Structure 1
Amino acid sequence: MSDKDASGQKLHIAIVGSGPSGFYAAEALLRSDRDVRIDMIERLPTPYGLVRSGVAPDHPKLKQSIAVYDGIARNENFRFFGNVAAGRDISIAELQQTHHAVLLACGAHEDRTLTIPGAGLRGNHSATEFVGWYNGHPDFRDRTFDLSHETAVILGQGNVAADVCRILAKPVDELRTSDIAEHALNVLAESKIREIHVVGRRGPAHAKFTAKELRELGEIVDVSAHARPEDCALNEESRLELKDKANFNAAKNLEHFTKFANPVETIGQRKIQFRFCLSPVALLGEDHVEGISFVRNRLEGPLFSQKASATDQTETISCGLVLQSIGYRGVPLDGVPFDSVRGVVPNVAGRVVDGKNSLRGLYVTGWLKRGPTGIIGTNRADSIETVENLLADASEEEAKSGADALLPLLEERVRWVSFAEWLKIDAAEIERGKDKGKPREKFTKIDEMLKLLV
């Protein structure tokens, strides 16, 4: 225990965001030798970020980390303030007045979107919208997706694209016992989609799927996965890249793509077609998407830095639904520096910087710190790095009151939700799911959640 802890002073930390990076930061703080009090600020009444609203409903094991977060939240030195939006209900500047340090962990939840002709046509959506819709996220509850067409195109070849493809392709009966939102299940049950193109701008050696996710797309009942043999032929640079032992996942992906290029002859109800070296140049149609025009790319550049360069060859895929999974970016916060090119808060190892100067008492972790990379567990080491620097800088000598000063501000402005109240919402969702054989039936509207707490 430090001398400052022995003096009875407490270190008050505000964490903005309740996803994995926020909870892993809280865990690291609570495990330190400092006398820490944590106040976690979350825009929704529900915690856990993308583990609750981003993980696909048919992958429940990926949600097991919630048990860890639940244990952290029950610590007596932790408080949860749900339904509180930083920048709307409380400013970052106010949190800096009430706390010794503010740690931003609010993710990268804005999509990178296409800026090509036809991008405004109906039937063109971001993957984030679709994922939020089928996961019951309140922001996307009222989105509509027209699944009456036979062909869909997914732009992007990462794990989010794999999730979206799998939900579109799977027999709906396999989803009925998951925690998928009921409104989405009803629409998927009427889906007419029979062919799904999953398109990347570079080659098969550069797809960002984890090999397990890609393999699973080839194992869906009554679905056949295909790739063109000519698309799986690699240039010399790509072959050399795959010889690097650190590039093991890409080598496994190529094995799967090669298998998909020589499929066992089966008649599936649906078909997944992987396409490579194609970049969209226009969405086609008068009012609704009817197709996408692509330019064919060739790969150029040195090992591990190959870029997709357009050729004079073009191709069109007819379709009625487009889902873009081409990346994510953070959203600026008032009073906080922001790198608009990378979509992150500029920082050095988690210390927020404005130019070359670190901003005292302001830190960042997770996707808002490094960009949208890695898996859930990646956030633990990332958050530990930020917390180590926060604790090295922090001093309890300046008097701060933490929650005691924060509460009066929130009571005047917003109906905030405590962790105990979240547990009531949680229990009600589980009860709602029992009759349907589901682990839970989520509330998809904030006012429905708040009515439970009256």
Structure 2
Amino acid sequence: MVIFGSAKLISRAFSSLSSNPLRICIVGSGPAGFYTADKMLKAHEKAQVDILDRLPTPFGLVRTGVAPDHPETKIVMNQFTRVAKNDRCMFLGNVNLGSSVSLKELRNLYHVVVLAYGAESDRALGVPGEDLDGIYSAREFVWWYNGHPDCRNLAPDLESTDTAVILGQGNVALDVARILLRPTAELAITDIANQALSALERSSIRKVYLVGRRGPVQAACTAKELREILGVKDLYINIQEADFQKSTLDEEEMRTSRIQKRVYELLCKAATSKFVSPGAGQRELHFVFFRKPDRFLESEKRDGHVAAVHFEKTTLKVDSGRQVAAGTGEFEDIESRYVPVLVLKSIGYKSVPVDGLPFDLHRGVVPNLRGRVLKTTSDDHVLLEEGLYVCGWLKRGPTGIIATNLYCAEETVASIMEDLTQGPLASSSSLPKPGREGLLELLDDRKVTVLPFSAWEKIDSEEKRQGSLIQKPREKLSSWQELLKVGLE
């Protein structure tokens, strides 16, 4: 592979720092990574921060997770750009933790390593038929329409069915439903990936079911996201009136959560004020509550493809002070087993472990104390992993909005600063470490292509240039080959 400059040339450009800086490596360039870098640079005047990412492009889910019709949410990239251009900071793209460099090597090179690489896998339902064709995770679908290079070739079939079933009722589920139902003329002026826009323009999907295990009081979306999808032009909304019956516990939940109360009120209003029945050709959104998937049914006309979802009806029961869904033994299908459907699972993202990292496989997070990584010994003693920290979804699980990572980063950086002044790093941080120079030499030896932030600026410029030709804010480069070619020019 071609190296973007030699390690010596790249490191020389950043040689004006303190002769003995505090070497910090952050793995992951999404909001958690950039907020951590920003807070660390402000907290420690001798901190030299390197941000690694396996993608050639920075910004994580701000670029590949935020819906294309939410440009205001992406403005935070301007703040992250200022961090990346700080003299004491460097972005290194196309560097994969595990294959390019190991965690053990990073810990030897840096005083502090912060893992903020998020959640790039999916939770499984564990029900029969989950491997049938036509079933995708919402993460894959979101990456596809946002131009993530890993999902460029996903190619979901939107033309063989008029029905999509989305499992989940959180913000991601609503994003996916909105993209499927929104007029493509409105999407055409966003930064949606070209291959996704073309597929949506040909789409025959007219009915979308958003299915949740619990009731409208417990819907996991925010009022803002709900208002947006309810406002999609000429959309028929269907919600069963019986689902709005509230228990005493439901009333208590709404008294203690303004968000839950507002979501419930919006759903009630939508159920009573929209069209009585769908018109010819009108797109439909069906909110289905109190259902959990029991199994996926295979098409009798299209081998290996999903045709229906078999659901068990649920009721709410109290478990540890929380209302949870419990099966009732009653079942029903959405759609027949003849015509194929599109199924999207929006049931949660999952982080993945790397060698040398303590990991809770059940919860999908790294055991930690306010960001400090913890390990359990063979005799059940819990110890701190000196110099190793986590932030973001890897730390707390896949919850919260982009701003949640700001507070998460503040906590992790506070822990680092405590450890530097009066904890385990107080003495070791004074010893010199190879840091950036050592890492670049290692990557150079392994013939790893490293893309600094200047390479991203070339990609950014080219995407905006291509977008301007077709009245879009940008036309995303969505293949590894394109990204590397433009970044290396």
Interval of TM-score (by shorter of Structure 1 and Structure 2): over 0.9
Q: Percent identity?
A: 45
Match of 2:437 in 1: 404
After TM superposition, which residue ranges in structure 1, 4 or more long, deviate above 6 angstroms? none
> Following TM superposition, by how much is the alpha carbon of 1:303 offset from its aligned partner in structure 2, in angstroms?
8.6
> Following TM superposition, by how much is the alpha carbon of 1:223 offset from its aligned partner in structure 2, in angstroms?
1.1
Match of 1:373 in 2: 399
Match of 2:155 in 1: 144
**1:362-410: CA deviations, max 9, x gaps?**
0000000000111000001101110111122234312112111111111
Contact 2:166-2:173 at 8 Å conserved across structures: yes
Residues 1:153 and 2:165 are matched in the alignment:
yes
Contact 1:123-1:145 at 8 Å conserved across structures: yes
Match of 1:327 in 2: 348
**1:209-263: CA deviations, max 9, x gaps?**
000101111110121222111011122211221122xx00110111111112213
> Following TM superposition, by how much is the alpha carbon of 1:308 offset from its aligned partner in structure 2, in angstroms?
0.6
Match of 1:427 in 2: 461
State the superposition RMSD in angstroms: 1.4
Read off the aligned partner of 1:79 and give its amino acid letter: M
Residues 1:283 and 2:296 are matched in the alignment:
yes
Is the alpha carbon distance of 1:90 and 1:302 closer, same or farther for their aligned partners in structure 2, counting shifts above 3 Å? closer
Read off the aligned partner of 1:256 and give its amino acid letter: L
Match of 2:283 in 1: 270
Match of 2:191 in 1: 179
Contact 1:82-1:418 at 8 Å conserved across structures: yes
Q: Normalising by the residue count of structure 1, what TM-score does the alignment of the two structures yield?
A: 0.96
Residues 1:339 and 2:373 are matched in the alignment:
no
Q: How does 1:6-405 map to 2 (within 5 A)?
A: 9-148=20-159, 149-244=161-256, 247-265=257-275, 267=278, 269-286=282-299, 287-301=304-318, 305-318=322-335, 320-355=341-376, 356-394=382-420, 395=426, 396-405=429-438
Contact 1:226-1:263 at 8 Å conserved across structures: no
Unmatched 5+ residue regions in structure 2?
Answer: 1-16, 377-381, 421-425
Once the two structures are overlaid, the 10-residue window that deviates more, 296-305 or 423-432, is 296-305
Match of 1:3 in 2: none
CA distance in 2, matches of 1:386, 1:33: 14
Read off the aligned partner of 1:371 and give its amino acid letter: G
SS at match of 1:379: helix
Contact 1:290-1:320 at 8 Å conserved across structures: yes
Read off the aligned partner of 1:405 and give its amino acid letter: G
CA distance in 2, matches of 1:303, 1:39: 43
Contact 1:217-1:225 at 8 Å conserved across structures: no
CA distance in 2, matches of 1:136, 1:33: 36
CA distance in 2, matches of 1:122, 1:186: 21
**1:281-323: CA deviations, max 9, x gaps?**
0111142111111000010116950111100211110161100
Residues 1:444 and 2:475 are matched in the alignment:
no
Is the alpha carbon distance of 1:392 and 1:141 closer, same or farther for their aligned partners in structure 2, counting shifts above 3 Å? same
CA distance in 2, matches of 1:160, 1:180: 16
Contact 2:237-2:275 at 8 Å conserved across structures: no
Contact 1:18-1:105 at 8 Å conserved across structures: yes
SS at match of 1:224: strand
Contact 2:166-2:211 at 8 Å conserved across structures: yes
Contact 1:19-1:106 at 8 Å conserved across structures: yes
> Following TM superposition, by how much is the alpha carbon of 1:329 offset from its aligned partner in structure 2, in angstroms?
1.3
CA distance in 2, matches of 1:296, 1:21: 38
Read off the aligned partner of 1:93 and give its amino acid letter: K
CA distance in 2, matches of 1:303, 1:79: 46
CA distance in 1, matches of 2:30, 2:46: 23
Unmatched 5+ residue regions in structure 1?
Answer: 1-5
Is the alpha carbon distance of 1:179 and 1:242 closer, same or farther for their aligned partners in structure 2, counting shifts above 3 Å? same
CA distance in 2, matches of 1:130, 1:349: 33
CA distance in 1, matches of 2:270, 2:463: 40
CA distance in 2, matches of 1:363, 1:215: 38
CA distance in 2, matches of 1:137, 1:33: 34
Once the two structures are overlaid, the 10-residue window that deviates more, 128-137 or 145-154, is 145-154
Contact 2:18-2:46 at 8 Å conserved across structures: no
Is the alpha carbon distance of 1:153 and 1:304 closer, same or farther for their aligned partners in structure 2, counting shifts above 3 Å? farther
Read off the aligned partner of 1:202 and give its amino acid letter: R
> Following TM superposition, by how much is the alpha carbon of 1:116 offset from its aligned partner in structure 2, in angstroms?
1.1
CA distance in 1, matches of 2:165, 2:148: 23
**1:8-42: CA deviations, max 9, x gaps?**
53100000000000000000011114310001110
SS at match of 2:418: helix
Once the two structures are overlaid, the 10-residue window that deviates more, 220-229 or 54-63, is 220-229
